[in-house]
Structure 1
């Protein structure tokens, strides 16, 4: 069944305190909407100073890794394409959004966070980055049936957020 686009959310409805899950919202939207930050050329400014760098999908490779001489093929077997990545100090926050509206395989994919975080750690080896791996989930996941999965996510050092990811969780 084809996906029906979200026609009622996004833009002005983005929570000023963080990334609010919406079908089209991303971390970039949340930063732009926040009155304390300016996003320009993938650099996040606060009070005129660069405090973070933003990347998504292939931009992580083109703008961060390739200029440092890193070819992902020499480190991991497949290119990982994050929905968003934010480098704050020496911590890179990898953000993956997951949407589901009924039973299906997305819930099972949540259990891959440990593997993906370890792949990112290998990818950034030698850059002295700490890696944080976060899910932002739509409210369909806010059910007791997922508690075991949520416990697992936390037990392997990853985090999940239902609907809203506060920017303070990203070191901003």
Structure 2
């Protein structure tokens, strides 16, 4: 049992295609390949740090990576997940994909002053993990 990613960023598990990975602009190439013009759905381009379309559960996961080591503007960015998730849902609505929005965070965000922000992320239907995201969370075989 093993995972492989080819040079088209297709994810295989035991030779079965289970997903596709997109970084930043590759996401828009994917939309074009599905005849979707982003301008028809949203007014400003969003560039996901990473994203993966998991075929077996028809879900598109937007993964934003935030690795802080000092205080800074990322604090407010964590509070934009609800808006961005809704934008991605509009953008992918024609494809009938489920959309999930997940932050991948460094341990910096385990500090007590982030409790309200982390609670907010969950309250609006988004998610976060520290340092790694379990394959099971993405619905991928383990």
Gaps of 5+ in 2: none
Provide Cα deviations, 1:87-142, integer angstroms capped at 9, x if missing partner: 11210011000121122110111000000000000100111100000000111111
* Structure-2 separation of matches of 1:162 and 1:49: 29
One of 29, 36, 40 as aligned partner of 1:70: 36
* Structure-2 separation of matches of 1:76 and 1:154: 24
What is the match of residue 29 of structure 1?
none
Task: Compute the TM-score of the two structures, normalised by the length of structure 2.
Answer: 0.92
One of 48, 58, 72 as aligned partner of 2:15: 48
1:91 counterpart = 2:74: no
Task: Compute the TM-score of the two structures, normalised by the length of structure 1.
Answer: 0.77
1:138 counterpart = 2:106: yes
Q: Is residue 99–residue 106 contact of structure 1 (8 Å, CA) maintained in 2?
A: no
1:164 Cα deviation from its structure 2 partner: 2.0
1:107 counterpart = 2:72: no
What is the match of residue 28 of structure 2?
61
Off by >6 Å, runs of 4+ in structure 1: none
* Structure-1 separation of matches of 2:42 and 2:36: 11
Counting matched residue pairs gives: 137
* Structure-1 separation of matches of 2:25 and 2:135: 23
* Structure-2 separation of matches of 1:47 and 1:104: 42
One of 115, 119, 122 as aligned partner of 1:154: 122
1:38 Cα deviation from its structure 2 partner: 0.4
1:81 counterpart = 2:47: yes
